[in-house]
Amino acid sequence: MNRYVFFKSVRTYLPDNFKILLKAVRDYGFRALYQGIERLCPICMKSARRFRPTGRPMRTDAKCVHCTALERHRMLWVFIQRSTNLLNGSPKKLLHIAPEPCLESRLRNMFGMSYVTADLSSNKVNLKFDIIQLPHPDNSFDVVLCSHVFEHIPNDRAAMREIKRVLKPDGWAILLVPITVDHTIEDASITDPTERLRLFGQEDHVRRYGPDYIDRLRDAGFHVRVIRSHDFATNSEIVQFGLTRASGEIYYCT
C-alpha cells in the first residue's frame, strides 16, 4: 500500500469533527507557508508566494492554498470570464456535472436556482443521476460544464450525446478530460483497480485520452474548438495564474 492510499484509508475512520479540525489546521498552515504575492488565483482573487504541490505524480505550483483551485480550474475560469457569454448578465440555465467546490460557490451565488449541480455518487449536489441518462428534456440548458468525468465512464460516447441532447441549439458546453497519451487507449475488460492505476493513471479511470478525444465529441454531434491558455491570457498572466501544462486544453463545444 502506497503512502497516499494509507493516509486516505486512515482518514476514513477519523471522526467527522476531527477531520474538520485537521483540515482547518492544515489549511491555515499552507496559507502561512505560502504567503506572498507572486501568484494570484483568478477564482478567489487571493495571492500566494506559490501554489502548493499536489497530485500523483506530484505537480509543483498546482493548488491554490485559499480555494483549492487546480490549474485546469483557474484556466477554465479565466476563459469563461474573457471568452464566453456566461457572465454577461442575461438569464441562463446552467448544468454543472461533478462540480468543483472552488467554482460551484461562485456560480451558485451568480445564478441561484438556475444553477443545477449533478453527480452520481456525491450527496452535495442538486441531483444524483447517471450521466448517460440525463433526467431532463431536450434543449434544457444554455451551458453545460463537465470536467474530468468522461475518463471514469465506460460509455463516454453515450454521455456526450446526452449532454448534446439537453443543450439548447444556441448553447455551449465545456467538456474537459486529461490528455495523457498520443492516442486514446481503453479496455473495458480491465476492472482491477491496481491494473487501472498502472494503465490509465488512476484506480477509477477506464481509459487514457489522446488528442483524438476531439473526434469523439464530433461524432456526438458537436462543433469543437480547442483552446489553450495563450489564446486568451498574456505570458505574464499565465505565470501569475499558474496556467502550466497541467492546465490542459479547453474543449469548447457548440
pLDDT of residue 1: 47
Rounded CA separation 162/120 (Å): 15
Last residue of a domain, one of 35, 63, 91: 63
Q: Closest Cα to residue 144, out of 168, 177, 120, 179?
A: 168
Both 21 and 144 in a single domain? Answer: no
In 3-state terms, what secondary structure has residue 243? Answer: coil
Tell me the CB-side half-sphere exposure of residue 133, using CA atoms within 13 A: 3
Q: Closest Cα to residue 104, out of 119, 91, 89, 90?
A: 119
**Which CATH number is 121's domain given?**
3.40.50.150
Q: How many domains does the chain have?
A: 2
Both 32 and 93 in a single domain? Answer: no
Both 54 and 99 in a single domain? Answer: no
Give the torsion through C-alpha atoms of 241, 125, 140, 158, to 10 deg: 80
Both 105 and 12 in a single domain? Answer: no
Both 50 and 85 in a single domain? Answer: no
What type of residue is 177? V
In 3-state terms, what secondary structure has residue 167? Answer: strand
Both 107 and 225 in a single domain? Answer: yes
Q: What sign does the CA torsion over 118, 121, 125, 126 have? A: positive
Query: Does residue 65 contact residue 48 with C-beta atoms inside 8 Å?
Result: yes
Both 117 and 227 in a single domain? Answer: yes
Both 82 and 15 in a single domain? Answer: no
Q: What is the pLDDT along the chain (254 residues), one digit of tens a residue?
A: 455 454 455 556 657 665 555 555 666 566 667 788 999 999 999 999 999 999 888 999 999 999 999 999 999 999 999 999 999 999 999 999 999 999 999 999 999 999 999 998 888 899 999 999 999 999 999 999 999 999 999 999 999 999 999 999 999 999 999 999 999 999 999 999 999 999 999 999 999 999 999 999 999 999 999 999 999 999 999 999 999 999 999 999 99
- Residue 178, by phi and psi: left (phi above 0), alpha (psi -120 to 50) or beta? beta
Q: Closest Cα to residue 151, out of 180, 117, 119?
A: 180
pLDDT of residue 7: 46
The set of cell numbers assigned to 245 is 501544462
Both 194 and 240 in a single domain? Answer: yes
Last residue of a domain, one of 63, 96, 113: 63
Query: Does residue 34 contact residue 50 with C-beta atoms inside 8 Å?
Result: yes
Both 51 and 76 in a single domain? Answer: no
Owner of C-alpha cell 468525468:
149
Both 108 and 126 in a single domain? Answer: yes
Rounded CA separation 130/243 (Å): 31
Both 186 and 75 in a single domain? Answer: yes
Last residue of a domain, one of 63, 80, 108: 63
Can you give the residue range of the structural domain that contains 216?
A: 71-253
